[in-house]
């Protein structure tokens, strides 16, 4: 979950800060307590104890805007999409596959088309049966949401297959 959340944050438009477990103070205290040690983190807009109204009668919904709530909801949805699609894929083709006959290769040589062609080939290369899709996205420096439709098409074209479903 930590990898997923960090990946989503890194590819978002938002600034973020990662806190150490040692700066705990909310429910993660109980989840991370001795002999429990569940890997639970918090994704929040404002950290507890970092605003004076925290846990006082001044803590109210006036601090929450509908826009902020929608943005946070979208971040959680993105995390869920990454989790649901993070599997280990395996390349079924030895060597570089013929992408043109499958409609996956741009023949017009523009800078954007060349980049797109290399992205597909890079995804195929790193879907080696060992890396999960989140690792592939991180290696390539791409948001996983950009890779998911590409991988689905590569599976449909029988270039990749799911080797391991991660749940």
Helix (H) or strand (E) holding 122, with range, is: helix 111-126
> pLDDT tens for residues 2-31?
899 999 999 999 999 998 878 877 777 788
Whole-model pTM: value is 0.84
Query: Average of pLDDT values for 115-127?
Result: 90
With CA atoms as reference, report the closest residue to 5 among 40, 54, 46: 40
Inform me whether the pLDDT recorded for 161 exceeds 80: yes
Inform me whether the pLDDT recorded for 114 exceeds 70: no
Question: Are 92 and 163 a contacting pair, CB within 8 Å?
Answer: no
- CATH of the domain spanning 88-164, picked from 1.10.3470, 1.10.10, 1.10.3450, 1.20.950: 1.10.10
> pLDDT tens for residues 95-113?
888 888 888 876 766 777 6
Half-sphere exposure of 45 (CA within 13 A, CB side): 13
> pLDDT tens for residues 34-54?
888 887 777 888 888 888 888
CA 143 to each of CA 30, 65, 79: distance values in angstroms, whole numbers, following the listed order: 32, 27, 11
> pLDDT tens for residues 71-89?
999 999 999 999 999 999 9
């Amino acid at each position: 979950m930590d990898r997923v959340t960090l990946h989503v944050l890194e590819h978002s438009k938002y600034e973020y800060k990662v806190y150490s477990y040692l700066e705990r103070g909310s429910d993660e205290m109980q989840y991370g307590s001795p002999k429990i040690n569940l890997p639970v983190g918090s994704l929040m807009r404002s950290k507890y104890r970092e605003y004076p109204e925290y846990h006082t009668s001044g803590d109210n919904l006036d601090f929450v805007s509908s826009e902020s709530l929608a943005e946070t909801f979208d971040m959680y949805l993105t995390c869920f999409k990454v989790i649901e699609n993070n599997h280990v894929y395996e390349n079924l083709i030895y060597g570089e596959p013929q992408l043109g006959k499958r409609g996956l290769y741009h023949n017009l040589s523009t800078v954007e088309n060349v980049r797109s062609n290399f992205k597909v080939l890079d995804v195929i290369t790193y879907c080696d049966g060992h890396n999960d899709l989140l690792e592939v996205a991180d290696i390539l420096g791409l948001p996983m949401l950009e890779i998911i439709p590409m991988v689905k098409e590569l599976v449909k074209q029988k270039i990749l297959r799911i080797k391991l479903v991660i749940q």
